[in-house]
Amino acid sequence: MTVNRWLRAIAGFFVMLSVVLGMTVSPNWYWFTAFVGLNLFQSAFTDWCPMITFLRKLGVPETVVSGHQS
């Protein structure tokens, strides 16, 4: 998977996890949902996202090599 696919998967997971935790543990978890949304919103304008920086340092590829999906 590429950096962008990982980013969408991680953001979706964080949102779903924080909603479940907000419903079952404490409504304060909704602040984490808001943080994820705000981070995605700011990255649309600044072209910088901390998770993408982290994924790149882990060696996640930017693009898929022709003929290979992983």
What's the chain's average pLDDT? 92
Q: List the domain boundaries for the chain.
A: 3-57
62 by DSSP, 3-state: which?
Answer: coil
Q: What is the pLDDT of residues 15-48, one digit of tens each?
A: 999 999 999 999 999 999 999 999 999 999 999 9
Confidence at residue 30, expressed as pLDDT on a 0 to 100 scale? 97
CA dist list (Å): 48 to 16, 23, 31, 39, 51: 23, 31, 21, 9, 9
